[in-house]
């Protein structure tokens, strides 16, 4: 096409735009709303209809998948069944600590009162070591360290009992009516909840950027203020170490009574989700379930037929 024709065409187009703008302004008429295509994402209802979640086979005794964008449950199994939750407890521990306003840079000495006298679990935090409250939160959330959780409760204003009361009060405030806490680590089987309640907890803890960072960092170090020694930790959720997963919040848990547990806020196929998996008895089955959920959603997206909303809007 010759340059002169291009210029003429452009001039004509500009003239039409200016003329339309002038008429609309003089007549004081609201311009018509453009007929835009519908949102490009697949709705939760379409995923449920075409994804056939009843065919999703998981190894966890309790499972819940929630579309966070719409607040719709995509899949649920035994979501109101009350069960021990092991170290998933530590999410509430961190939430209460952060909302209490206690200084995170305050040094806390690890004592023998912080040892696990119930199950005898070990810790990399030595007795007489001194760590900031920030670093203890990191160890409790990222590495699921029980001694760190105990020290956080011991040094809470008013002590352990005040801490447990605050945890239960926060649960009630969030509408977690089937949840009870009796310690800060989750070692006690009296710490119980349901998948439905835990989704509420995840939604609340996700508001804190610090919890996001502490639960999704693959590896980190804390510093013993007494000796200057750095102690390396590794996140207990193996999925945060994989680039194929986009995880915004994470927590694992295990006791013989609770089984293997996993909570995540993640994005799969551009869909933000909350996933709760409880009572998974195989050591790796919770991760296998997460992978099965990932594959199911990706396939469900492909099964949904092209929407006719966009073309219908022009009729």
Q: Give the pLDDT confidence of 177-212 residue by residue, as tens digits.
A: 999 999 999 999 999 999 999 999 999 999 999 999
Distance (Å, rounded) from C-alpha 123 to C-alpha 187?
14
**For residue 21, pLDDT beyond 60:** no
Q: Assess whether pLDDT exceeds 50 at residue 6.
A: no
Q: What percent of the chain has pLDDT over 90?
A: 83
- The answer for residues whose C-beta is within 8 angstroms of residue 297's C-beta and 6 or more apart is 47, 51, 74, 268, 269, 271, 273
Phi, psi of 309 (to 5 degrees): -60, -45
Catalytic residue (choose from 60, 123, 144, 185): 144
State how far the Cα of 229 lies from the Cα of 62, in Å rounded to an integer: 41
Determine the Cα–Cα distance for residues 133 and 143; give it in Å rounded to an integer: 15
Inside any domain, residue 85: yes
- pLDDT of the residue at 37: 36
Is residue 34 domain-resident?
no
Number of folded domains that form the chain: 1
Is 68 a member of any domain?
A: yes
**Contact 25/255 with Cβ under 8 angstroms?**
no
- CATH number of the domain bearing residue 282: 3.40.710.10
Query: Residue 309's pLDDT is what?
Result: 34
Q: Which residue has the higher pLDDT, 90 or 13?
A: 90
Residue 190 lies in a domain: yes
- Whether residue 21 lies inside any domain: the answer is no
Mean pLDDT of 42-57: 94
Please pick, among 25, 36, 40, 90, the residue that the annotation labels catalytic: 90
Range of the domain at 259: 44-303
Question: Residue 255: its pLDDT value, please?
Answer: 96
Of 96, 116, 104, the residue nearest 165 (C-alpha): 96
251 has binding-site annotation: yes
Question: Is residue 260 included in any domain, yes or no?
Answer: yes
From CA 41, how far away is CA 71, in angstroms rounded?
Answer: 15
Is the predicted pLDDT of residue 38 greater than 50, yes or no? no
CA dist., res. 115 & res. 123, Å (int) = 8
Task: Specify if 25 maps to a domain.
Answer: no
| pLDDT for residue 307 | 63
90 is catalytic: yes
Q: What mean pLDDT is predicted for residues 45-66? A: 96
The pLDDT of residue 28 is above 50: no
Exactly one of 87, 123, 184, 193 is catalytic; which is it? 87
Asked whether the predicted pLDDT for residue 8 surpasses 60, the reply is no
pLDDT digits (tens, 9 = 90+) for 81-101: 999 999 999 999 999 999 999
Q: Is the pLDDT of residue 27 over 60?
A: no
In a 3-state reduction of DSSP, which class is residue 30? coil
Spatial separation of the C-alpha atoms in residues 106 and 67, rounded to whole Å: 38
CA angle 248, 249, 254 (to 5 degrees): 145
144 is catalytic: yes
DSSP 215: H
| Tens-place pLDDT, residues 102-149 | 999 999 999 999 999 999 999 999 999 999 999 999 999 999 999 999
Which pLDDT score is estimated for 41? 79
Mean pLDDT of 161-187: 98
Instruction: Kindly report the backbone phi and psi dihedral angles of residue 134, in degrees, each rounded to the nearest multiple of 5, phi listed first.
Output: -60, -50
Query: Is there a domain that residue 11 lies in?
Result: no
Whole-angstrom Cα Rg for the chain: 26
Task: Tell me which H or E stretch contains 260.
Answer: strand 259-268
- Find the mean pLDDT for residues 31-49: 65
Examine the pLDDT at 34 and tell me if it is beyond 80: no
Determine the pLDDT at residue 283. 86
Closest-CA residue to 268 (of 242, 239, 298, 238): 298
């Amino acid at each position: 096409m010759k340059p002169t024709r291009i210029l003429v065409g452009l001039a004509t187009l500009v003239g039409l735009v200016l003329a339309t703008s002038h008429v609309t302004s003089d007549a004081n008429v609201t311009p018509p709303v453009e007929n835009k295509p519908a949102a490009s994402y697949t709705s939760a209802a379409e995923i449920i209809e075409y994804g056939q979640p009843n065919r999703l086979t998981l190894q966890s005794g309790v499972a819940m998948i929630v579309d966070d964008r719409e607040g719709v449950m995509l899949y649920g199994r035994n979501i109101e069944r009350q069960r021990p939750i092991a170290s998933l407890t530590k999410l509430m521990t961190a939430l209460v600590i952060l909302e209490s306003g206690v200084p995170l840079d305050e040094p806390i000495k690890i004592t023998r009162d912080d040892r696990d006298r119930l199950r005898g679990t070990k810790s990399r935090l030595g007795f007489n070591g001194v760590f900031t409250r920030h670093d203890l939160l990191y160890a409790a959330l990222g590495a699921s360290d029980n001694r760190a959780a105990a020290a956080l409760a011991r040094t809470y204003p008013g002590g352990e009992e005040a801490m447990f009361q605050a945890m239960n009060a926060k649960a009630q405030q969030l509408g977690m009516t089937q949840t009870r806490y009796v310690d800060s680590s989750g070692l006690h089987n009296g710490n119980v909840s349901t998948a439905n309640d835990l989704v509420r907890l995840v939604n609340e803890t996700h508001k804190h950027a610090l919890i996001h960072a502490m639960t999704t960092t693959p590896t980190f170090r804390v510093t013993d203020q007494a000796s200057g020694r750095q102690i390396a930790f590794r996140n207990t959720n193996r999925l945060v170490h994989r680039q194929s997963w986009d995880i915004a919040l994470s927590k694992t848990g295990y006791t013989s009574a609770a089984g293997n547990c996993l909570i995540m806020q993640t994005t799969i196929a551009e869909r933000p989700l909350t996933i709760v998996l409880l009572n998974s008895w195989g050591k790796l089955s919770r991760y296998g379930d997460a992978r099965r959920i990932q594959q199911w959603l990706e396939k469900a997206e492909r099964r949904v037929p092209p929407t006719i909303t966009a073309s219908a809007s022009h009729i």
